[in-house]
């Protein structure tokens, strides 16, 4: 199920700088949530397992089943929407997992995803949005009045944006570090690929070409790449959001959904 991944010289340097103890493993299958029995096999590669549990009161009654599992005592690694590379601090040391689909990912971009995981571990952010929002996740659902799937999508996007505000200064610094210059160039290229639709997001939502959760996801993915965002998403690319986190996110979502509905 798991095998240790050989790292390039660039990634070895990135791990040494940002997450020197992290274990990096290839996974023999794709997954949204790693089967609990398989997750427990991570114990063969790390010193100990430390499954996280969160209060049930944080979740609205209609929260997706996957989110309920993540908050429960079940050892849950990975969640819907996580992407090709997943990391967890529920092991000691932290573990970075590459899903099988990584085999089809361009190498330069895959290396960026791995380096990003190391940086996030170093920044001390959580591996998922639930502990970021805490009890305010239920408030996000109540105040926006959106369905369970839409609330999940928006929460994941808003968390990605907040994490991007914590990490992008590191990405910027790679431009002046020869050993990380290839990672920097890939980071810039990935951001430039998002430019095409950013300026049209508000119009796309207004004309029904994109849903609000879809537009939020797109905009928030651009924040970590230091792209300029249009209104109302530009309000997320601020020092206020970096400082106030979940409380700010809930207020922004509430006001934005209300404005779109008026």
- The pLDDT value recorded for residue 199 is 84
Query: Tens of pLDDT along 209-251?
Result: 999 999 999 999 999 999 999 999 999 999 999 999 999 999 9
Average pLDDT, the chain: 96
Taking residues 30-38, report their average pLDDT.
94
What is the share, in percent, of the chain residues with pLDDT greater than 70?
100
pLDDT grade for 197, boundaries at 50, 70 and 90 = confident
Beta strands in the chain (DSSP E): 2-4, 23-27, 48-49, 85-88, 91-92, 95-98
Tell me the pTM: 0.96
pLDDT over threshold 80, residue 19: yes
Cα end-to-end span (Å), the chain: 51
Instruction: Give 260's pLDDT tier (boundaries 50, 70, 90).
Output: confident
Residue 262 pLDDT exceeds 90: no
Residue 26's Cβ-count burial label (10 Å; 0-12, 13-18, 19+) is: middle
> Which residues are CB-contacts of 93 (< 8 A; sequence separation ≥ 6)?
21, 22, 23, 46, 47
Question: Can you give the pLDDT at residue 261?
Answer: 78
Give the confidence band of 202 by pLDDT, cuts at 50, 70, 90. confident
Domain map (residue ranges) of the chain: 1-106, 128-262
Per-residue pLDDT at 196: 81
Residue 200 is predicted with a pLDDT of: 87
Does residue 258 register a pLDDT over 80? yes
Q: Percent of the chain, pLDDT > 90?
A: 93
Cα pseudo-dihedral 84, 85, 86, 92, rounded to 10: 150
Q: Quick check: 24 pLDDT over 80?
A: yes
Q: Is the pLDDT of residue 10 over 80?
A: yes
- 107-120, pLDDT tens digit by residue? 999 999 999 999 99
The predicted model gives 148-165 an average pLDDT of 98
Which secondary structure element, helix H or strand E, spans residue 50, and what is its range? none
- Using the predicted structure, report yes or no on whether residue 95 has a pLDDT greater than 80: yes
Contacts of 223 (CB under 8 A, 6+ apart): 160, 161, 164, 165, 168, 229, 236, 237
Segment 193-207 mean pLDDT: 87
Per-residue pLDDT, averaged over 97-115, amounts to: 97
Per-residue pLDDT, averaged over 73-87, amounts to 96
pLDDT at residue 43 tops 90 = yes
């Amino acid at each position: 199920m798991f095998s240790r991944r050989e790292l390039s010289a660039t990634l070895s340097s990135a791990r040494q700088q940002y997450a020197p103890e992290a274990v990096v493993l290839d996974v023999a299958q794709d997954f949204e949530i790693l089967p609990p029995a398989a997750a427990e096999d991570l114990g063969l590669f790390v010193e100990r397992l430390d499954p996280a549990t969160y209060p049930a009161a944080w979740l609205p009654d209609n929260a997706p089943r996957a989110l309920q599992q993540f908050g429960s005592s079940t050892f849950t690694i990975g969640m819907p929407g996580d992407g090709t590379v997943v990391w967890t601090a529920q092991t000691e040391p932290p573990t970075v997992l590459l899903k099988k689909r990584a085999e089809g990912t361009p190498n330069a971009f895959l290396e960026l995803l791995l380096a990003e995981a190391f940086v996030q571990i170093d920044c001390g952010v959580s591996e998922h949005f639930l502990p970021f929002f805490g009890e305010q996740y239920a408030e996000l659902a109540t105040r926006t009045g959106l369905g369970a799937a839409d609330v999940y999508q928006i929460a994941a996007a808003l968390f990605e944006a907040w994490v991007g505000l914590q990490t992008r200064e590191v990405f910027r610094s790679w431009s002046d570090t020869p050993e990380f210059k290839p990672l920097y160039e890939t980071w810039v290229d990935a951001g430039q690929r998002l430019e095409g639709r950013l300026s049209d997001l508000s119009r796309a939502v207004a004309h029904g070409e994109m849903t609000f959760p879809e537009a939020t996801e797109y905009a928030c993915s651009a924040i970590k790449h230091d792209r300029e965002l249009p209104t109302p998403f530009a309000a997320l690319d601020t020092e206020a959001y970096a400082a106030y986190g979940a409380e700010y996110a809930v207020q922004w979502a509430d006001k934005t959904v209300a404005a779109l509905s008026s």
